[in-house]
């Protein structure tokens, strides 16, 4: 009986080491070129903003889908979908924090509003197959 009580006491003390999950997770947005303003929407309602990019928006800690809409002068507006993974929190047997992958990471390429001149298009790397190199 005494061993049983010790076991129950040890189990209860270990259960007190569990961390509650955080209230928010991060959506990291990086744009090319940097300096854009991005809004984070869930079901059409704004839940966060990143200005300027690169930056982080905090969203509720849940497995959820979001739309990230980015805008910058001289570039076309771009929207992309993001799915966040909830951080469930907790500690392992030895008391170390368990780091679960959570949040989302996005890299958004913004297209210029006006097409580039033909000379500038040949200087992009990697070049389009079959185009002559400018050097």
pLDDT tens by residue, 51-81: 999 999 998 888 889 999 999 999 999 999 9
| CATH number of this structure's domain 2-113 | 2.60.40
* Mean pLDDT on 80-94: 73
Encode pLDDT of 20-49 as tens digits. 667 888 889 999 999 999 999 999 899 999
Give phi and psi for 126, each to the nearest 5: -75, 145
pTM of the model: 0.65
Token pair, residue 96, equals 């170390």
Domain borders along the chain are: 2-113
The mean pLDDT value of the chain amounts to 76
Give yes or no for a contact between 63 and 93, defined as CB atoms under 8 angstroms apart. Answer: no
Q: Computed from CA positions of residues 45, 49, 54, 55, in that sequence, does the dihedral angle turn out positive or negative? A: negative
Structure tokens at 53: 């990019």
Residue 11 pLDDT > 70: no
Sign of CA dihedral 72, 105, 63, 51: negative
Binned at pLDDT 50, 70 and 90, residue 129 comes out as low
């Amino acid at each position: 009986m005494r061993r049983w009580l010790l076991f129950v006491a040890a189990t209860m003390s270990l259960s007190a080491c569990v961390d509650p999950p955080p209230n928010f997770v991060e959506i990291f947005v990086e744009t090319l070129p940097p300096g854009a303003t991005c809004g984070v929407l869930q079901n059409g309602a704004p839940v966060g903003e990143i200005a300027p990019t690169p930056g982080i928006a905090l969203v509720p800690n849940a497995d959820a889908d979001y739309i990230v809409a980015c805008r910058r002068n001289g570039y076309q507006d771009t929207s992309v979908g993001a799915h966040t993974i909830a951080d469930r929190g907790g500690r392992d047997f030895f008391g170390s924090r368990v780091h679960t992958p959570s949040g989302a990471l996005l890299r958004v390429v913004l297209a210029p509003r006006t097409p580039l001149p033909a000379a500038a298009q040949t200087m992009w790397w990697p070049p389009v197959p079959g185009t002559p190199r400018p050097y």
